Amino acid sequence: MGDKQKAALEALKRKADGDLDEFKTARRVRTSKSITPQASMAYANGAIRITRTPGREYTKNCINLKDVIHKDQLVSACIYSFFIAEEELYGYLPFSHTPGGIPIYIGRDPNFDVPTVEMASTQAGVKFQEKISRKQLDIIRPALQQLHRQRYGQNLHTFYAWGPGSCHSKILLLVYSTFLRIVITSCNMMSIDTELGDNHWYIHDVPKRSSASNRLPIGFEADLLSHMEALGTPKAFLDSIRGAYDYSTVKVHLITSVPGTCAGAKAEKHGLLRLRRVVKDMDLKLLEEAENLQLEICTASVGSLNVKWLHGFYDCALGKGTLGTYDGIRDSPKLKLFYPTMEDVKNADEVARDAASNIGCHTRPWDKAPHEVKQIFHHYESKDRGKLFHQKLILAYNSRDSTQLPYYVYVGSANFSQSAWGTLEHDKRGNEPTSDKKLIKLANFECGVLIPGHLVKDLLEDGTESWQDGIVPHVQNTQPYDLSKDKAWNDYRWTAAYREGG
């Protein structure tokens, strides 16, 4: 080989080596851009948190949506909420107008998707109704799906629960490459709840199995899948997670409601009778602790309460073996209910006042409500001064020993009402497990978790001073209403012909 040929060959080799180096560099750049760090299991043993409102920026045991949704690492996601403020939630989700985006499933109560429902009704030639019927929903469902996809992306799959009451559950199921993140909360998907008001979040990361189980789901997994199916979650998503994750670290109990009457074998699956069964099985012996026991409720919506229903709720919350009837009873059980007065709302900050239409009291007219019912009401005062709330909390604890962990905590979507929990009624057919009771008047879809007290300490963020600091966002020693002047808060938007002085 001549010198010229050798020189030419060396030049070609240098060029080839240079091209190869450029290719390798470009590939590394592309790879570094395409690979993002995997989301890690931050809540492998579960967690209970409260919303990180502005005054809690540096407070332990607080959280926001940005802490649980990692947009770039999602494999798929399913979010169900009674109300969704799209402009405040959708920025956390990776929508795509081109094919191939990750599947995003969004469910809600159709009565709170008003503008799109109106458009879909017009397209389908159906008269728009203020309260959507099941038949109307079935007709306009395809148009609803298409309108949302045109607006947000081809990877969006919308679905709707339908019921005679409120489709009120609030659940996020976030699929990452190695685990499923479960979030059950009192927050509607709107910033007033997820950033600016007192709310609760139960979060649990369950690891992906090496291979999916073909066995029928049991326990928490079975209850969760059953409730998601009842809400109308598309089969494609449910099939993608069924049997795929290990729930062995989940020790809390799911408590749900679905509309209808619950009797016989179904009676202990929902509402008050589900609450009773879970507490009864925990064998806390709360009846023996009656002298020290304090049962507290904080709720964003109060139903039309009466003394008989309060006693039924109390019996179930204590897990009583025998359930009474309480016909003709006058005295209320030992309950504390935290709910703001008109004055409490006036004293809140401007943003909280503006959002106070999201809470309301159906025990009205207030002046004619039974004294025995009104005397359980206590003022609401947030520990983040000026804030209000959308939480739904049931707390059973020893009022004489602040160092003792609570007996149990419930957080979730269920307000203090018959529509959420149902009403006990004698079961003429008899049913020994339920003390011959059945549930009627269940009108809502609800979802929450009951957390055994002995778990609470390990569910708090490291450094949280006490369980009260970690999970109770309001002051617990506020005064009961002065019934000579205090009135439960209601907004004119809740009540026909309502006036501040009325």
Q: What is the pLDDT of residue 494?
A: 61
d(CA 194, CA 73): 21
Q: What is the pLDDT of residue 427?
A: 96
Task: Please give the share of the chain, as a percent, with pLDDT higher than 90.
Answer: 87
Q: What span, in angstroms and rounded, lies between the C-alpha atoms of 159 and 77? A: 13
Q: Which of 157, 168, 270, 362 is catalytic?
A: 168
3-state helix, strand, coil in the chain (%, to 5): 35, 20, 45
Could you give all domains of the chain from N- to C-terminal order, each with its CATH number? 47-241 (3.30.870.10), 253-471 (3.30.870.10)
How many Cα atoms are found within 13 Å in the side-chain-facing hemisphere of 246?
11
Known catalytic residue at 168: yes
pLDDT digits (tens, 9 = 90+) for 257-284: 999 999 999 999 999 999 999 999 999 9
pLDDT of residue 11: 45
**Active-site pick, 157, 378, 390, 474:** 390
204 included as an active-site residue: no
Is 4 known as a binding-site position?
no
Helices 271-282 and 307-317: crossing angle, nearest 10°? 40
pLDDT of res. 35: 55
Q: Report, as ranges of residue numbers, the positions in the chain whose pLDDT lies below 50.
A: 1-34, 497-502
Mark out the alpha helices in 35-90 (DSSP H runs): 65-68, 86-89
Determine whether 418 is exposed, middle or buried from the number of CB atoms within 10 Å of its CB (0-12, 13-18, 19+): buried
Asked if the peptide bond before residue 365 counts as cis, ω within 30 degrees of 0, the response is yes
Alpha-carbon distance 313 to 333, whole Å? Answer: 9
How high is the pLDDT of residue 187?
98
Question: Is 71 labelled a binding residue?
Answer: no
The answer to whether 321 and 281 have CB atoms below 8 angstroms apart is no
Q: At 329, which amino acid appears?
A: I
